[in-house]
Amino acid sequence: MKPKFVFGLLALAAIGGGVYWQFFSTAVAPKPPSGSAATTRQVPPAPVRVARAGTKTVPIEIRTIGTVQPIASVQIKSRVDGMLSKVSFNEGDIVKAGAPLFTIDPRSYEAQLKQAEANLARDQAQLENARLELKRNQTTASSGVTSQKLLEQARTQVQILEAAIKSDEAAIDVAKVQLSYTDITAPITGRTGDMKVSEGNTIKANDTTPLVTINQLRPIYVTFAVPERELPQIRARQYKAPLPVTVTDDRGVQHPETGTLTFIDNAIDSTTGTIQLKATFANDRDFLWPGQFVQVTLRVSQLENAVVVPSAAIQSGQNGPYVYVVRADSTAELRPIKPGVAMAGDTVILDGVKAGETVVTDGHLRLSPNARVIVRNPADTKS
């Protein structure tokens, strides 16, 4: 390639680059000087709702799910065979202990009792005669008229009849017991369930299907489990006084009475890491029903003068929970906190907020540290 041609190309490239730089340098607007109106434009304050941190007595509670169980549940079964001749209650009735429930036809058992009594009377008569015979033999044996062998036979016959009378008396006792089983009474006070038989049916002793089941409803148990880590404080508080327990049903309706913790199991379930507890309720209004699931609240203790804020004020960040505190100059301060227990829409603040400080409860999305705020609910911040 010729040198003149190369130098010509280089000259054209230099001229083109200069034109390109001149065009684009004039097309881009110059930056405004520092401190001008364009760089000092202010962001409008963020609208927020706030609340004032307060103090209150906060109960320390454990919440879990429990099951209602009767204190006693008895399956009524017959101890003898026979025809069911009478039913003395209606399904669902509340019966008292000792009240009649069923009557089994007693005629065959009455006959067995009479037979046992007759056997006793017969053997008593024979015994009386044998004793007279023994007495005569003893008199004649002393004069040598009766042999020693006859005397021993007479004495043996008396002993045999005495044993027979004891057997007869035992048979009478058995017959009386069997006869008493024909009248079935309630062993506990409670509410009867579904009746499995009706009058006229023949029933068998100790059948697999009970005649009826009676559940004791007053008082009644609520059983529930809590994590094993809660056991030390529960035992410590329970030692001083019974702990109160409240329950609500699946509709949130609270039981009108407060029960008490009455039982702590003697072992922790290693498969679940929980301990079984029971609370006793008077249940005078039959609010609780066996098999019902309820929400249980066990009150362990309470915090006096605890600092609380609405739970809506607490946010979660990469460094943990925090709140925005509104300063006197209407700017927001991001404040890390240590939250405690929460209840009824409030959360205890163990560290990070003092009573009387104002925290943001709504409008967090527009906030950043030191951002200006405008309060939309100033009336709610009054202490």
> Could you read off the pLDDT of 50-77 as tens digits, one per residue?
999 999 988 888 999 999 999 999 999 9
268 lies in some domain: yes
Q: Which residues contact 30 (CB under 8 A, 6 or more apart)?
A: none
Whether residue 203 sits in one domain with residue 237: no
130 lies in some domain: yes
- By the 8 A CB rule, do 259 and 244 touch? yes
Whether residue 278 sits in one domain with residue 226: yes
The domain in which residue 96 lies consists of 77-213
Structure tokens at 161: 């009849």
Highest-confidence range of 23-32, 54-63, 136-145, by mean pLDDT? 54-63
Final residue in a domain of this structure, among 213, 236, 263: 213
Question: Phi and psi at residue 368, in whole multiples of 5°?
Answer: -145, 160
Q: Do you know the residue count of the chain?
A: 383
Whether residue 209 sits in one domain with residue 87: yes
Q: pLDDT confidence of 178, banded at 50, 70, 90?
A: very high
For the chain, count helices (H), then strands (E). Answer: 4, 22
Q: What is the pLDDT of residues 329-354, one digit of tens each?
A: 999 999 999 998 887 789 999 999 99
Amino acid 325: pLDDT: 96
**How crowded is residue 229: how many other Cβ atoms within 10 Å of its Cβ?**
10
22 lies in some domain: no
Domain count, the chain: 3
Rounded mean pLDDT of 99-124?
95
Q: Which residues contact 225 (CB under 8 A, 6 or more apart)?
A: 64, 269, 272, 274, 275, 276, 277
Between the alpha carbon of residue 184 and those of residues 73, 102, 152, 181, 294, the distances in Å are: 16, 5, 50, 6, 35
Q: What is the pLDDT of residues 254-263, one digit of tens each?
A: 777 789 999 9
Whether residue 270 sits in one domain with residue 329: no
Q: Which residues contact 68 (CB under 8 A, 6 or more apart)?
A: 220, 221, 222, 288, 289, 290, 291, 292, 293, 294
Rounded mean pLDDT of 156-174?
93
Q: pLDDT confidence of 37, banded at 50, 70, 90?
A: very low
Q: pLDDT confidence of 16, banded at 50, 70, 90?
A: low
Mean per-residue pLDDT of the chain: 86
Whether residue 328 sits in one domain with residue 272: no
Domain holding 293: CATH number? 2.40.30.170
Higher-confidence residue of 317 and 154: namely 317
324 lies in some domain: yes
Final residue in a domain of this structure, among 213, 232, 254: 213
Structure tokens at 29: 């607007």
Amino acid 380: pLDDT: 56
Whether residue 147 sits in one domain with residue 129: yes
- Please say if the pLDDT value at position 91 is more than 60: yes
Amino acid 168: pLDDT: 94
Q: SS3 of 376, please?
A: coil
23 lies in some domain: no
Q: pLDDT confidence of 271, banded at 50, 70, 90?
A: very high
Amino acid 302: pLDDT: 86
Q: Give the rounded percent of residues in the chain with a pLDDT score beyond 90.
A: 67
Whether residue 143 sits in one domain with residue 110: yes
Whether residue 368 sits in one domain with residue 242: no
d(CA 79, CA 77): 7
β pairing state of 212-215 and 73-76: antiparallel
Final residue in a domain of this structure, among 190, 213, 236: 213
- Please say if the pLDDT value at position 29 is more than 90: no
Whether residue 239 sits in one domain with residue 330: no
Whether residue 314 sits in one domain with residue 299: no
Whether residue 363 sits in one domain with residue 311: yes
Between the alpha carbon of residue 203 and those of residues 23, 304, 320, the distances in Å are: 112, 64, 69
Amino acid 41: pLDDT: 60
Whether residue 89 sits in one domain with residue 135: yes
Amino acid 109: pLDDT: 96
Our CA dihedral for 126, 130, 136, 140, rounded to 10 degrees, sits at 140
Amino acid 7: pLDDT: 47
Q: pLDDT confidence of 102, banded at 50, 70, 90?
A: very high
Q: How far is CA 34 from the centre of its chain?
A: 70
d(CA 175, CA 163): 18
Q: What is the pLDDT of residues 213-245, one digit of tens each?
A: 999 999 999 999 999 999 999 999 998 889 999
* Residue 30 DSSP class: P
Global pTM reads 0.67
- Please say if the pLDDT value at position 39 is more than 50: no
